Structure 1
Amino acid sequence: MTRRLLALPAAAIGAAMLLPLGSVAQEKAAFDPAAFYEQRCAYCHGPGGWGTRRLEPRAPEGEAELLNRTSLPPAYTELVVRRGIGAMPQFTPTELTDAELAELARWLEDRN
């Protein structure tokens, strides 16, 4: 009888191990470059932001805001985001994966 009682918990544990991981842990949501930009970039690179003000003397007129840039090569965006520049901090791969960064850079380039 004791063996039967011990077999039940072992069977339950075995069954739980067969459950798909999605039911135990939420899958990562699809990356949305527009939402990421709004949450992590727009504060500095939107109207009146620190990054916008710092870019005004160097960017073509009217293009200091990143969303207004007509020439923003993805390779440059990826380099600056990954390494940081001036007061802009770097974004590590744990904050923004390489694939997400490439998608964000393409999204910024395609805006104009």
Structure 2
Amino acid sequence: MMNVNYKAVGASLLLAFISQGAWAESPAASGNTPDIYRKTCAYCHEPTVNNGRVIARSLGPTLRGRQIPPQYAEYMVRHGRGAMPAFSEAEVPPAELKVLGDWIQQSSAPKDAGVAP
């Protein structure tokens, strides 16, 4: 009898569903970096807010306002670490990743920890 790890299957399906947004558009062409952040980072690195109330904490650490070097952000996106998966160039194109890394480094900390960008 096959032993199925339902948590692993569920996590894989969730990751596949989440990453679909990365293929939907190319926001780097329009220079709208906050959209890139929302589509590739915010799901895990921002709390879920509904009517000003935090209804779910973020999975990963806050990225905004930490002056993270772009090279470090790019490395983490490509190689992953711990619970963070690696993202391929097909999922996050190099041009978008460069713009995203620069924006994260220059971003301000959230004014209210309960409000996503």
Same fold (TM over 0.5): yes
Which of 42, 64, 77 is matched with 1:67 structurally? 64
Q: After the TM superposition, which parts of structure 1 deviate over 2 Å for at least 4 consecutive aligned residues?
A: none
* TM-fit CA distance, 1:86: 0.7
Q: What code does the residue aligned with 1:49 have?
A: S
Structure 1 gaps, min length 5? 1-27, 53-64
Question: 1:39 is matched with which residue?
Answer: 39
Aligned residues: 72
Larger RCO (CA under 8 A, 6+ residues apart): 2
Percent of residue pairs bearing the same amino acid type: 40
* TM-fit CA distance, 1:97: 1.3
**Deviation digits for residues 19-41 of structure 1, max 9, x if unmatched?**
xxxxxxxxx66253210211221
Q: What code does the residue aligned with 1:42 have?
A: A
> Is structure 2 residue 112 aligned with structure 1 residue 109?
no
**Deviation digits for residues 29-78 of structure 1, max 9, x if unmatched?**
625321021122112101321102xxxxxxxxxxxx11131x30001000
Question: Aligned partners of 2:80 and 2:90: how far apart in 1?
Answer: 15
Q: What code does the residue aligned with 2:58 have?
A: G
Question: 1:89 is matched with which residue?
Answer: 85
Structure 2 gaps, min length 5? 1-25, 48-56, 109-117
Question: Aligned partners of 1:78 and 1:46: how far apart in 2?
Answer: 18
What is the DSSP-based 3-state SS (H/G/I as helix, E as strand, rest coil) of the residue aligned with 1:93?
Answer: coil
> Is structure 2 residue 46 aligned with structure 1 residue 50?
no
- Structure with greater strand share of residues: 2
What is the DSSP-based 3-state SS (H/G/I as helix, E as strand, rest coil) of the residue aligned with 1:106?
Answer: helix
Alignment root-mean-square deviation, CA: 1.7
TM-score when normalising by structure 1: 0.57
What is the DSSP-based 3-state SS (H/G/I as helix, E as strand, rest coil) of the residue aligned with 2:64?
Answer: helix
